[in-house]
């Protein structure tokens, strides 16, 4: 399969931003893909497979982030991860 880079700019709609619960889910799902995954906010780039990295971004609802995946399953990864960022309302996943 082709090795590719997919980038997509996303405005976070998840009510809790990328805080603990959605962040844990994001990281768990990111880790299921072979591709390297990065989230970039205001020139700050973090590893999308790292809970600490994602939490450090402190990305609230309404924040614009760039989602980047590099690898054979990059396309699929961006589709799945975008879903979490765009989810409105209360998300039931994760931990609290």
Residue 50 binds another protein, judged by CB under 8 A: yes
Residue 41 binds another protein, judged by CB under 8 A: no
Catalytic residue among 19, 49, 68, 87: 19
Residue 29 binds another protein, judged by CB under 8 A: yes
74-86 vs 20-30: helix crossing angle, rounded to 10: 170
Residue 84 binds another protein, judged by CB under 8 A: yes
How far apart (Å, rounded) are the C-alpha atoms in residues 82 and 86? Answer: 6
Residues near another protein (CB under 8 A) are 19-20, 24, 27-29, 32, 46-47, 49-53, 55-56, 58, 83-84, 87-96
């Amino acid at each position: 399969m082709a090795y590719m880079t997919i980038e997509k700019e996303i405005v976070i709609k998840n009510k809790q931003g990328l805080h603990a619960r959605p962040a844990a889910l994001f990281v768990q799902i990111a880790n299921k893909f072979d591709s390297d995954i990065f989230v970039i906010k205001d020139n700050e780039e973090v590893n999308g497979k790292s809970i600490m990295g994602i939490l450090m971004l402190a990305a609230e609802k309404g924040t614009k982030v760039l989602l980047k995946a590099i690898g054979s399953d990059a396309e699929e990864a961006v589709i799945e991860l975008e879903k979490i960022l765009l989810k409105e309302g209360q998300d039931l996943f994760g931990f609290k």
